[in-house]
Structure 1
Amino acid sequence: MLQITLDKKALLALMLLVPAPSIGVATQLYFLPRLEGYLVALLSKVWLLLFPVIWLYFVDKSAIKIQYPKRPDLLAGVGLGLIMLFVILTVYWLLGWRWIDTEYVLERARLVGFSSFNLYLLGAGYWIFINSLLEEFVWRWFVYCQCEILVSSRLAVILSALFFTIHHIIGLAAYFDWRATALCSCGVFIAGIIWSWCYLNYRSIWIGYISHIFADIAIFLIGWQLIFV
């Protein structure tokens, strides 16, 4: 009976959390691309952060334990991050730029305010250092752990990576055609598998967070080249 209860709790947690970023991204990019869309996207981010905390305290009756990064975490994160940065830039230079309509990307960037260099830098700083930490906290800790209650550890790695990829597909489709969207989505999914696998083996989000920073740096370098060069 206890196991059934845990399964139902984990399933409920995933149902309440996983759709939130997709709703926020879709609203901002497709339905309400102005202030209203920003507010919905912001609320989805707040929900993404607060829900795991609320769930931990009121449902699991537990508390967040802060685990500071150790030297091996830092070294592994930097090493993995440099590899990811190199792979992302290489794939873009070999294939990605051929499939991207620069004028359309610039038009979409203007629509959401990213055609301003100062706003682009501000947004890049948020996504690289803050949003990446939020995503590791949510997808690699909370979502992975809920998936691990429902399925085996290895399958939880794949399932949490899939959940992590869904809202990225929605966002990418607003800027790119199906080829670039599929290529980038595969990259996000593979990165999600790698980061979830790191959590499975080290039970720490720090390797994922540090390498996530490097991956996002590569993405925003590409965005800078598309929009401003």
Structure 2
Amino acid sequence: MSLHRHPAIIERLRSIIALLLIVPVTSIGALCSTVLAPGAIGQEIAVCCGIWLLLFPLLWQILVERQPLPWRITSDGWRAGVILGAMMFGTIFASYWLVGRYWLNIPDIKARVNQMGMNIPLMVFGFGTFQTLVNSLIEEYVWRWFVYRHCARLWTQALAVWISAGFFTLHHVILLVVYCDDWRLVALGSIAVFGAGVLWAKCARCYRSLLPSYLSHLAADLALQIASWHILLG
């Protein structure tokens, strides 16, 4: 049987390969920067992983899919993004202020951040700003545009929402385990990240735009960064 006569099979194989080449990358970066090689080497590996996440979907689209890049700019769903973002910001900030700051082992977190060389206030603010404005957009582009699309080729669109959210949650679980020594925080944080991934995938699917998921993701990350600044800078 020639695969060339079955384009659907070729497309599915391509999607499997694409997912294998991108889904583990964030977990590798998280493990290296926090557990396996905390410090300069781990950070360099994490940066390389970030560059791969940024470039691989573009190269795959051009060289393998041989399709034009979907640079369509649309404002569809911005209201949903703002409303969802406001809800996420309020929930995360209230959860940290009322519960999280008492459950977290703040001295241990500061020690781990110091070990990574990220304890300079300017660096803390710079990294937090990058995470909020840029990394949230990169994550939407990777997980809601690229990963979700390939999941939808292998499963149904409805299942792809949940599976892509599960993939998105993996590296966050690693970070939660590293920085939280309370299993309750790990469990609640993992559920929250998975739930957010489901909502963002549904937004991208419904509006066919990354804008609503990006806006709400930005708001959620802003709340997390405010909590981080409070922990690290007091």
Same-fold call, TM > 0.5? yes
Unpaired segments ≥5 residues, structure 2: 1-5
Aligned match for 1:86, one of 63, 86, 90: 90
Q: Which moved more, 1:98-107 or 1:191-200?
A: 98-107
Q: Which residue of 1 aligns with 2:79?
A: 75
| Residue identity matched to 1:165 | T
Identity percentage of aligned residues: 36
TM-aligned CA deviation for residue 63 of structure 1:
1.5
CA RMSD of aligned residues (A): 1.2
Secondary structure at 1:198 match in 2: helix
> What is the distance in 2 between the residues matched to 1:126 and 1:146?
27
Report the alpha carbon displacement of residue 21 of structure 1 after superposing the two structures with TM: 0.8
* Other structure's SS at 1:77 match: helix
d(CA) in 1 for partners of 2:117, 2:210: 31
Candidates 129, 132, 137, aligned match of 1:125: 129
TM superposition outliers: structure 1 runs of 4+ over 4 Å = none
- Contact 1:168–1:185 (CA under 8 A) maintained in structure 2: yes
Does 2:199 match 1:167?
Answer: no
List aligned pairs for 1:27-38, cutoff 5 A. Answer: 27-38=32-43
Q: Does 1:96 align with 2:85?
A: no
* Structure 1 residues 129-162: Cα deviation after superposition (integer angstroms, max 9, x where no partner): 1111100000000000000001111110000000
Partner of 1:136: 140
What amino acid maps onto 1:221 in structure 2?
A: I
Report the Cα offset of residue 97 of structure 1.
2.4
In the other structure, the counterpart of 1:190 is: 195
Partner of 2:51 in structure 1? Answer: 46
Q: Deviations over 1:107-148 (max 9, x none)?
A: 112122332211111001110011111000000000000000
Aligned length in residues: 228
Is the CA contact 1:113–1:119 (under 8 Å) kept in the aligned structure 2? no
Contact 1:144 1:156 in 2 (8 A): yes
Q: Partners in 2 of 1:130 and 1:141 — Cα distance?
A: 16
When the two structures are superposed, what TM-score results if normalisation uses the length of structure 2?
0.94
Q: Read off the aligned partner of 2:153 and give its amino acid letter.
A: I
1:109 is matched with: 113
- Superposed displacement of residue 185, structure 1: 1.3
Contact in 1 for aligned 2:133/2:218 (Cα 8 Å)? yes
